[in-house]
Amino acid sequence: EDQVTQSPEALRLQEGESSSLNCSYTVSGLRGLFWYRQDPGKGPEFLFTLYSAGEEKEKERLKATLTKKESFLHITAPKPEDSATYLCAVQARASSNTGKLIFGQGTTLQVKP
């Protein structure tokens, strides 16, 4: 069964304290791994797509990496405005013709000044 697990469930950081969020996945044929950021009361905001092991994407203080079993979202020197819930989702081969995503439960990040 295709599955996505995110850890930790919640993370508290001091401003400037770098850390990583983990997304472990078990899918039969990865067609894409997606990272989203969601602020309270808003819809998920697309951040990155990763397709193959070894791939990396960067945007400001965020860097996403991918291996054959997991993805990491590295946050360098975070600021309070980085506080949000970060969602990981995968598209598997079985559902690639419909675009269906399998979501993890999310990691809620709080960055204190």
Partner 1 sequence: DTEVTQTPKHLVMGMTNKKSLKCEQHMGHRAMYWYKQKAKKPPELMFVYSYEKLSINESVPSRFSPECPNSSLLNLHLHALQPEDSALYLCASSPGGVGTPQHFGDGTRLSIL
Count of residues of this chain found to bind partner 1 when the rule CB under 8 A is applied: 25
Q: Is 25 in the site for partner 1 (CB under 8 A)?
A: no
Q: How far is CA 23 from CA 9, 48, 63, 112, in A?
A: 11, 13, 13, 23
**Interface region with partner 1, contact rule CB under 8 A, candidates 18-26, 40-48, 58-66, 67-75:** 40-48
Instruction: Decide: 90 and 32 in contact? Cβ < 8 Å.
Output: yes
**Interface region with partner 1, contact rule CB under 8 A, candidates 16-24, 36-44, 57-65, 76-84:** 36-44
Q: Is 58 in the site for partner 1 (CB under 8 A)?
A: no
Instruction: Decide: 56 and 104 in contact? Cβ < 8 Å.
Output: no
